Chains A and B, each alone.
Chain A
Amino acid sequence: MTAELFTLFLASTVRLAVPLLFAATGELVSERAGVVNMSVEGMMLTGAFGGAMGAAYTGSPMLGLCCAILAVLPIAVLQSVMTNTLRANQIVTGIGINIMALGVTTLGYRALFGARSRDIIPGFDAWSPPLLGQIPLVGGVFQQVWLFYLAAAIIAVVGYVLERTGLGIVLRAAGDNPQSVIRSGAPLKGVRHAAVIFTGVMSALGGAFLSIGDIHTFTEGMTNGAGYLAIVAVIFGSWRLWRTVAACLLFGAATALQFQLPAFGIHIPNALLIMMPYLLALLAVAGVVGHQTAPRALTQN
């Protein structure tokens, strides 16, 4: 492997991992609070759609990003009210939202954008930080859209809040032992609502990265399972932040390999590489790879 190809591989690994990093971190917070958001897929798709439409109509990717978040908020509130207030089944609600989001974004895209569907949408450009970018071999890796640095910053903050603050304790208790939260007088529902809405915002950012950060266009159903992959990353990461981040990077690498391996004349079927994250996660939850500790009250209302 030449140095150049290696750098390219690392850079595309990071780039492909960014949407997962956003969505999986959001999902992790919510699952630690006891709510599985199966709707991450739909939220990401809506984020990608909102971002693309916003950027296309205002001409500003920054406003597009705001639109992405605004578009996802109602969905996150819907998911949260349904599962936390109406006590609907979390899995079912998520799948319902995903089906609907696919329908609404497809309809909306055709109605709003049908005639202009080949246009490139204004988006963010990759940017190289002054010093990091100069490092030989790995410098090219930092040539990323600024959203990547935002993701890194949010992950650091989430890690700190989860492990070092009172809010983190309450949040983790909401997922492990909700009765204790109620007894302590902390607002269990409030914590869970906030966690689901946080997932929504993070999914919106991840989805917007896909449309206006990475390829500068929107296509129907473009998340294509990325949301589910984010959930898989949380499972494979055993509901821990750093492992989840590592899982996202691993999944990014597996995706990057699909495009890189043929360049080296190695022919592993694409399908096997794409399957790898799911297979690894299955082995993980089967207890083959280390011990898994899911929040005890996960999916229970």
Chain B
Amino acid sequence: MSASTTANASSFSPRSALLPVLLPAAAVLAALVVGMIVVVAMGVTLDKAVMAFYRGAFGNAYAISASLNRAVALALVGVGFVIANRAGLTNVGGEGQIAIGGIVATAFCLMPGMADLPLGLSYLLPLLAASLAGGLWGGIAGMLRVRAGTNEVIATLLLSFIAVWLLYWCVQSENLLRQPMTSAATLPESLAIPEATQVPLLTGSYSSPVTLGLPILLGIAIIAAILLRRSLYGFALSAVGLNPIAAARAGVAVGFTIISAMCLAGALGGLAGGLMLQGEQYSLKAGFSSGYGFDGLVVGLLARGSVTGVIAGALLFGFLRSGGISMEMAAGVPSALIDVLQGLIVLTIASAAYYLERRIAR
């Protein structure tokens, strides 16, 4: 996978610089047209569906905030994907890294005394723990790759399933995180986390619940962009991604680079999980990470190595999902339509990628 080279190579001619932007835009437009055709075919009037979509995605402060929070989680996974991808690694384990982050964040938030910590430590510490746990989880795949030669795609996929069932076990077992069964009505989920451990809302009001996650993401995105473009570490990543053997000859610590890249990717996934728990859901449930990991992977992939691209893609998918959910509720168009559109976008861009790269390389 050499998507990493395009960002640098594309600056040579204006025509090739535009292509990586035009192609995703065209794919998205085409997918939206298909979506409208499906809506009409299902017997729903177009303006009703579009209105419902618009209201769910941009209709009011709450809708916009929910979409933004969703986009933050997707972007974190996406940035992680791009970092690992620069080293030639494909992290398909976002789902599991989110789950691990969610589990650890819950455990920390519910820890006695955590809510009493001063200076925002009450919510920062669980977030940090979630990131570290996600980093370790991602690091396992990196370690296996270096030590046992295990393909990281296979390892991260397996780790994802293990983490998802680990989460399921945590919310099913009273010895772990399940809330005490005092009445027959208690659901298999954790206790709600204390308010002091919730990630603060920027506006301070639940009617526009954009969390501190947004500035955190922006900070991380800037650091990641600098790391990838300007730092020695970013150079090592690219070197390993382009040719690990040559990189090793040139004195790059290939093993360390691979493991640390997977750790970083995992840590961002874990942070996304922590933010989802502490900024949105407030208690751990079985379906906690459903789909965010795969959506984030797709976002990272469509960005073709660029952090700005990740943010654009995350916003697109964040708003698409919110609009889709509203379309299902208000216009009766199943939100599965969004899956179809997302799949179409992925397939279009994936199938053009090889030819696009070759054209730019010329």
Residue of B nearest to A236 (CB): B158
Residue of B nearest to A91 (CB): B153
Is there a chain A Cβ closer than 8 Å to B226's Cβ?
Answer: no
Which residues of chain B are near A102, meaning CB under 8 Å? 336, 339
Contacting residues of chain B (303-342) with chain A, CB-CB under 8 angstroms = 334, 336-342
| Candidate in B150, B336, B340 with the most chain A CB atoms within 10 angstroms | B336
Q: B158 near A281 (CB under 8 angstroms)?
A: yes
Q: How far, in whole Å, are A91 and B343 apart by their CA atoms in the complex?
A: 13
Q: Mark B268-295, 1 if CB is under 8 A from A, else 0.
A: 0000000000000000000000000010
Q: A93 near B157 (CB under 8 angstroms)?
A: no
Q: Interface residues of A, CB < 8 Å — how many?
A: 48
Closest CB of chain B to A262's CB: distance in Å? Answer: 14
Whether A89 contacts B339 in the complex (CB less than 8 A), given A228-B161, A235-B154, A271-B169, comes out as no
Return the contact of A96 from the options B155, B165, B298 (Cβ within 8 A).
Answer: B298
Q: B169 near A100 (CB under 8 angstroms)?
A: no
Closest CB of chain B to A169's CB: distance in Å? Answer: 24
Is there a chain A Cβ closer than 8 Å to B297's Cβ?
Answer: yes
Q: How large is the interface on B (under 10, 10 to 19, 20 to 34, 35 or more residues)?
A: 35 or more
Whether A286 contacts B150 in the complex (CB less than 8 A), given A91-B92, A93-B350, comes out as yes
Is there a chain B Cβ closer than 8 Å to A215's Cβ?
Answer: no
Q: B157 near A106 (CB under 8 angstroms)?
A: no
Closest CB of chain A to B294's CB: distance in Å? Answer: 6
Q: How far, in whole Å, are A142 and B117 apart by their CA atoms in the complex?
A: 63
Is there a chain B Cβ closer than 8 Å to A66's Cβ?
Answer: no
Closest CB of chain A to B172's CB: distance in Å? Answer: 6
Q: How far, in whole Å, are A213 and B117 apart by their CA atoms in the complex?
A: 58
Is there a chain A Cβ closer than 8 Å to B232's Cβ?
Answer: no
Q: B294 near A99 (CB under 8 angstroms)?
A: yes
Residue of B nearest to A102 (CB): B339
Return the contact of B148 from the options A86, A287, A298 (Cβ within 8 A).
Answer: A287
Which residues of chain A are near B150, meaning CB under 8 Å? 285-287, 292
Which residues of chain A are near B159, meaning CB under 8 Å? 282
Q: Mark A93-121, 1 if CB is under 8 A from B, else 0.
A: 10111111111101100110000000000
Return the contact of B151 from the options A78, A104, A298 (Cβ within 8 A).
Answer: A298
Q: How far, in whole Å, are A98 and B350 apart by their CA atoms in the complex?
A: 14
Closest CB of chain B to A278's CB: distance in Å? Answer: 4
Residue of B nearest to A82 (CB): B351
Closest CB of chain A to B321's CB: distance in Å? Answer: 12
Closest CB of chain B to A95's CB: distance in Å? Answer: 6
Q: How far, in whole Å, are A102 and B297 apart by their CA atoms in the complex?
A: 17
Closest CB of chain B to A89's CB: distance in Å? Answer: 6
Is there a chain B Cβ closer than 8 Å to A275's Cβ?
Answer: yes
Is there a chain B Cβ closer than 8 Å to A247's Cβ?
Answer: no
Q: Mark B349-362, 1 if CB is under 8 A from A, else 0.
A: 01111110000000
Is there a chain A Cβ closer than 8 Å to B347's Cβ?
Answer: yes
Which residues of chain B are near A231, meaning CB under 8 Å? 157
| Candidate in A274, A286, A298, A301 with the most chain B CB atoms within 10 angstroms | A286
* Chain B interface residues toward A at CB < 8 A: 1, 38, 42, 90, 92, 144, 148, 150-151, 153-155, 157-159, 161-162, 165-166, 168-169, 172-173, 294, 297-298, 301, 334, 336-344, 346-347, 350-355
Extra pairs beyond A89-B301, A100-B347, A274-B168 (13, CB < 8 Å): A82-B350, A89-B353, A95-B298, A100-B340, A102-B336, A104-B340, A107-B340, A271-B168, A278-B158, A278-B165, A285-B148, A287-B148, A301-B354
